[in-house]
Structure 1
Amino acid sequence: MKNFKNKLTVGLVVAATALLAACGGGDDGVDDRLGISQPSVRLLNTVPVGVNVDLTQNGAPTQVSNAPYKFVSAYFDISKDNNLFQLKLAGTQTVIGQTTINGATGHKYSLIATPGATSAELVTIDDPYDKGLISDKARVRGFNAALNSQNIDMYITAPAVDLTTVGPTLGAIAYKNANPPSGADSIYFDSGTYRLRITTAGTKTVIFDSGALTLNNNADWLITTIPVDGIGAVVPNRIKVLVATSSTGAGNSTELVTQPLTPVAAASAPAAQ
Structure 2
Amino acid sequence: MKQWLMILYVILGFSLYGCGGSSGGGNSHTQASLRVIHAGADAPKVNILANQSALVDGLDYGESSGFKQVASQNYNVKVNAQLPDQTTPTVLTEDYDLKAERNYSAIALGSVADNTLEVLVVENADSAVASGYVRIQAVHGSPAVPTVDVYVTAPGDDVNTASPTLTLSYRQFSDQLSVPAGDYRIRIAPEGTKTVVFDSGTVPLASGTDLLVTAAPNVYGGNTTSPVVLVAASGSGASVIFDQTTGADLRAVHGVADAPAVNVVLNNSATPAVADLTYLNESPFLQVPAGTQDVTVNVPSLTTDVLKDVPVPLEQGKFYNAIVLGSVDASDAFDIELLPFEEDRRKVATEAKVSLVHGSVSAGTVDVYITPTADISSASPTISNFAYKQTITGVGLMPGEAVISVTPAGSKTVAIGPLTVNFEGGKLYGAVAQDAASGGAPLGVNGFDELN
TM-score, normalized by length of structure 2? Answer: 0.43
Which residue, 147, 161, 181 being the options, matches 1:151? 147
**By percentage of residues, which structure has more helix?**
1
2:135 to 133, 139, 151: 139
1:76 to 40, 50, 68: 68
- After superposition, the Cα gap between the structure-2 partners of 1:157 and 1:192, relative to the gap in structure 1 and judged at 3 Å, is same
Matched, 1:88 2:68: no
Q: Alpha carbons of 1:226 and 1:112: their partners in 2 closer, same or farther (altered >3 Å)?
A: same
Contact 1:98/1:122 (CA < 8 Å) preserved in 2?
no
Partners of 1:244 and 1:153 in 2: how far apart?
21
% of aligned pairs identical? 25
Question: Deviation string for 1:56-103 (max 9, x for gaps)?
Answer: 335x242201112222113223344433544331242252x7875432
Please state if 1:197 is matched with 2:187: yes
Deviations 1:128-153, CA, capped at 9 Å, x for gaps: 13446x63411100011100113222
CA–CA distance in structure 2, aligned partners of residues 101 and 56 of structure 1:
12
Look up the equivalent residue of 1:193 and give its one-letter code: D
Question: How far, CA to CA, are the matches of 2:192 and 2:95 in structure 1?
Answer: 34
Residue aligning to 2:3? none
- 220, 241, 254: which one aligns with 2:230: 241
Q: What do residues 156-208 of structure 1 show as CA deviations (whole Å, max 9, x unaligned)?
A: 1001112232222222x22122112xxxxx11111111100011123322111
**1:62 is paired with a residue of what secondary structure?**
strand
Aligned pairs, number: 215
What is the CA–CA distance in structure 1 between the aligned matches of 2:188 and 2:67, rounded to whole Å? 28
- 2:374 matched residue in structure 1: none
Structure 1 unmatched ranges of 5 or more: 1-26, 181-185, 262-273
Q: Is the 8 A contact 2:101 2:126 kept in 1?
A: yes
2:100 pairs with 105, 112, 116, which one?
Answer: 105
2:239 maps to 1:254: yes
Structure 2 unaligned segments of length 5 or more: list them: 1-22, 247-452
Equivalent residues of 1:99, 1:124 under 8 A apart: no
The verdict on how the C-alpha distance between 1:240 and 1:121 changes in structure 2, with shifts beyond 3 A counting, is: same
CA displacement at 1:258 relative to structure 2: 1.5
Q: Which residue of 2 aligns with 1:162?
A: 158
Whole-Å Cα distance in 2 between the matches of residues 122 and 193 of structure 1? 32
4+ runs deviating over 6 angstroms? none
Larger proportion of strand: 2
RMSD of Structure 2 on Structure 1 (CA): 2.9
SS in structure 2 opposite 1:206? coil
Q: TM-score, normalised by structure 1?
A: 0.68
Task: Supply the distance in 1 between the matched residues of 2:103 and 2:56 (Cα, whole angstroms).
Answer: 16
Q: Do the aligned residues in 2 keep the contact of 1:149 with 1:237 (CA within 8 Å)? A: no
Deviations 1:187-237 (A, max 9, x none): 11111111000111233221110111101100011111111249xxxx997
Bigger radius of gyration among the two:
2
Name the structure 2 match of 1:9: none
Does 2:37 align with 1:41? no
